[in-house]
Structure 1
Amino acid sequence: MSASMHYDIIGVGFGPSNISLAITLEEEAPGTRCLFLEKEASSEWQTGLLLANSDIQNHPLRDLATPRNPRSYYSFTNYLHEKGRLFEHLNMGLYYPYRYEYRDYIKWAAEHFNGSVHYSTVVSGVRALAQSDSDARFEIKTTAGKTYTCTNLVVGTGRTPYVPPVLSGLSRDQLVHGAKFNNILGRLNAGEVNSVAIVGGSQSAIEIMIYLADKFPHVAVHGVSRKFGYRLKDTSPFTGEVYFPGFVDLFYSSKPEHKQRLKDDLNLTNYSASDADVLDELYRTLYRDKHFGNNKLKVHNSVEIVSAVTVGSKVSLELIAAHSDENITSLEVDMVISATGFRDFGPLAHQELCPALLDSVYPLLEKDEVGEMRVGRDYRLALEGLDGLGLYLNGLCESSHGMGDAGSLSLVSIRSKNILDSIKQLSTANATSANLMKTEA
């Protein structure tokens, strides 16, 4: 293998987590030989949900750099300054910036690292190789036939979208995950989709309902939720401490049963709930729809989907009311949007044991009795017999590290610092080991 293709660090994926890592490397470890591989043509963020007037859900200063380095060039505040919009932005009095503006900020930061990123590059496989203790490395192959090697591999690909099994039999023309909602805008504009069911109780589900009601008068919109009503997100400053670095320590060191209790207690900080302004807007939209007799918006709450089958060009959903085993209704729509979140790591049906990218490495990983990967506090996965390699999960570890790894940007900069510090320690240990081997020889 050519030395020019070997790197100290390779990151797969170049979304917010690995962009933050690139910033941390530039500021704290300049000269590190690193490369990032991204399957898309550019670094984008939440492109599937850039809806009009939608905002972010974390404080804007919990950005790609500020919590780690408040003086960073790559802060959101400096982005506004560089773009000449700082005073106008401050004058709006927004607590949460618009989502499209934060997307532009993330893309602006990413563009500073174009020389270290290969875009439109799909990784087809990862292997751990070791001809000797001093020659251990990861081998990364791409669909274009290129091969790279590295000592430290950082996986920052984002979590796998979750679709309930009852919907999984639908075709790609009839089902889309909420994170890819914008992919169907062309069909909506063309009038090919005239009725939609949005499954789930997340903020994304409600934002999609509001957007469809506002932008597509011809579309009948059905909200389908297991809960009695769409719920208010827990925005208490006390529960907001789940996004503190100290909470990560608390959660990580807790016993499994205590972690589960914390998850249950804190569920509404992030799942199946929405901000008050979005809930209020949906309720007003429903009210106006009913008043004017449009009958285009309907909410089906306290229901379970019993089956989802194709009937001609339609999707037929059978719904059973939670309060009655016999109250079964049928709902026919052109398309189903599954706004149902993402998979976490674990052995349960709605989870996955490891990222698909690491399938070939999984047998080498240290695991617990149910096959779940053992993740270190530094986000490192331990490889049996390959102590010199660093394999890290960047933004994928909610099951082991808590809500801060559940897609929020709040801890990306701190997590990047944790990973870099671990890589530095590993490099020092490898150098010490190599010197000992030379001395013994």
Structure 2
Amino acid sequence: MSAEAGEQVPIYDLVGVGFGPSNLALAIALAEHNANAAEPVTAHFLERQPRFGWHRGMLIDTATMQVSFLKDLVTMRNPTSEFTFVNYLHSAGRLVDFINHKNLFPLRVEFHDYFEWAAAKVDDVVSYGVEVVDVQPVHDGEEIAFLDVRTSDGTMLRARNLVMGTGLRPQLPEGITTGPRVWHNNELLRRIPTMKDPRRFVIIGAGQSAAEVAALLHDEFPRAEICAVFARYGYSPADDSSFANRIFDPEAVDQFYRAGEPVKDRLMRYHGSTNYSAVDVDLIDELYRRVYREKVLGTQRLRLFNVSRPVQVVDTGSTVTAAVESLTTGDRTVLDADAVIYATGYLPADPTPLLGDLSKQCARDEEGRLKVERDYRITTESVIRGGIYLQGGTEHTHGITSSLLSNTAVRVGEILTSIVDRRASLMPRYAVSVS
């Protein structure tokens, strides 16, 4: 795909930046569309990882998904698809076993295997181990007709549309940097084998990941003390009740998008507990059982520093010292640990640095956030013919499902429909010769 001097640069209807679950779902939607389309949509995806991977550092053997298996890559868009989780189970010879399990929520490692199974079926439209370095406009007079996507290996692809699926980035408190003894939980499974007879871990965070890390380390290191630090009185249960789950319905995206900013803010406050800083109640109960059992036995290894915050974390070279302050009394406890793990969530990756000067032609609201159309297309100046679509980073416009699996299948269908419809209306303008 490298463009030598005088060589024709390949032109695609869309180029996808990143190949996580969202753009994988889009690649599947494209494959299904093209199977019956008179004019197929041409596409290629670029992924910097050497192979498909989704939060590999937290693929704990016992962890389960927090979303129904029916909200897989395709079912909400096309339940008859060959790419459903049910078809994956059939292919793996586990369909009957899964049915007998009577569970909507598969193991996370199993769902990851499903993703890999699906990704292998569309690997002809993906280049792995390739990082996008910038995007340059291709002009036709005063208009920008195409976008040239350049990669670290010298590859260049010419796109009519971009779909940015750049994923999430670990969120750390200001001033904290990771190192051999200070991690974000996304490094957990890579770091655990490096620990030799640890005495103490400190885990900071109150959400599902923090609770899973505490449980895993408590199991893996039976002689180590596990100290969980969070500002709440205890882990709060995730609200997965039937009515609250309507915030994840496809129709809820329309309602949220049309709502005014005060209503959007209120909805996010009302229903943040469906996803943020919330823990499955079964895991909460299990951790409480462990704390109580240890109190009975008089050997407390799982210590909960609730209503507390870390005020200082210092890597001394051989250990890391965490000062934990009570929010109610101000008393401080200094913990000398082998590692401090921040389970403090993720933030959407900002796609605009890759766009270079093009980012100046992307509209923003009063708070500096990107303006996004209902079809997930960034609002741009009219000189840009094509669309720059976002898979993630649209929570402020489209609601809580922006970076979640819940609405992925429906979202990619809407993006594909937008690209197809806009291609039909713009096709006469694409029939130009540009260099």
> What TM-score do you get using the length of structure 1 for normalisation?
0.91
One-letter code aligned to 1:361: L
Structure 2 segments unaligned to the other structure (5+ residues):
none
One-letter code aligned to 1:336: V
Give 1:317 deviation, angstroms. 2.1
In the TM superposition, what are the counterparts of 1:56-205 in structure 2 within 5 Å? Answer: 56-132=65-141, 136-166=145-175, 168=176, 170-188=177-195, 190-191=196-197, 193-205=198-210
Q: What is the CA deviation profile of residues 212-266 of structure 1, one whole-angstrom value per residue up to 9, with x for unaligned ones?
A: 1112213321111011111111111111011101111111111112111111101
Give the distance between the partners of 2:167 and 2:413, measured in 1 at CA: 18
Is the Cα–Cα contact under 8 Å of residues 201 and 339 in structure 2 kept in the other structure?
A: yes
Give SS of 1:48's match: helix
Q: Of 431, 435, 441, which aligns to 2:427? A: 431
Counterpart in the other structure of 1:381: 378
Give SS of 1:380's match: coil
In the TM superposition, what are the counterparts of 1:358-377 in structure 2 within 5 Å? Answer: 358=355, 360-377=357-374
Give 1:39 deviation, angstroms. 1.0
Matched residues, number: 424
Give 1:280 deviation, angstroms. 0.9
Give the distance between the partners of 1:49 and 1:63, measured in 2 at CA: 19
Q: What is the CA deviation profile of residues 334-386 of structure 1, one whole-angstrom value per residue up to 9, with x for unaligned ones?
A: 22211111125xxxxxxx86554345532221112332110111110122243
Counterpart in the other structure of 1:420: 416
Give 1:309 deviation, angstroms. 2.1
One-letter code aligned to 1:75: T
Give 1:416 deviation, angstroms. 0.3
Give the distance between the partners of 2:87 and 2:406, measured in 1 at CA: 18
Give the distance between the partners of 1:424 and 1:244, measured in 2 at CA: 24
Bigger Cα displacement from structure 2, 252-261 vs 103-112: 252-261
Give the distance between the partners of 1:403 and 1:210, measured in 2 at CA: 27
Give the distance between the partners of 2:369 and 2:350, measured in 1 at CA: 6
Q: Of 236, 240, 246, which aligns to 2:245? A: 240
- Identity between Structure 1 and Structure 2 (%): 34
> What TM-score do you get using the length of structure 2 for normalisation?
0.92
Give SS of 1:329's match: strand
Bigger Cα displacement from structure 2, 300-309 vs 227-236: 300-309
1:399/1:291 Cα in 2 relative to 1: closer, same or farther (>3 Å)?
same
Counterpart in the other structure of 1:273: 278
Counterpart in the other structure of 1:343: 347
Q: Of 291, 296, 302, which aligns to 1:297? A: 302
Give the distance between the partners of 1:14 and 1:246, measured in 2 at CA: 26
Bigger Cα displacement from structure 2, 269-278 vs 395-404: 395-404
Is the Cα–Cα contact under 8 Å of residues 137 and 389 in structure 1 kept in the other structure?
A: yes
Give SS of 1:105's match: helix
- In the alignment, is residue 55 of structure 1 matched against residue 52 of structure 2? no
Is the Cα–Cα contact under 8 Å of residues 10 and 36 in structure 1 kept in the other structure?
A: yes
Note the aligned Cα RMSD (angstroms): 2.1
Give the distance between the partners of 1:434 and 1:116, measured in 2 at CA: 22
Give SS of 1:108's match: helix
1:107/1:245 Cα in 2 relative to 1: closer, same or farther (>3 Å)?
same
1:24/1:353 Cα in 2 relative to 1: closer, same or farther (>3 Å)?
closer
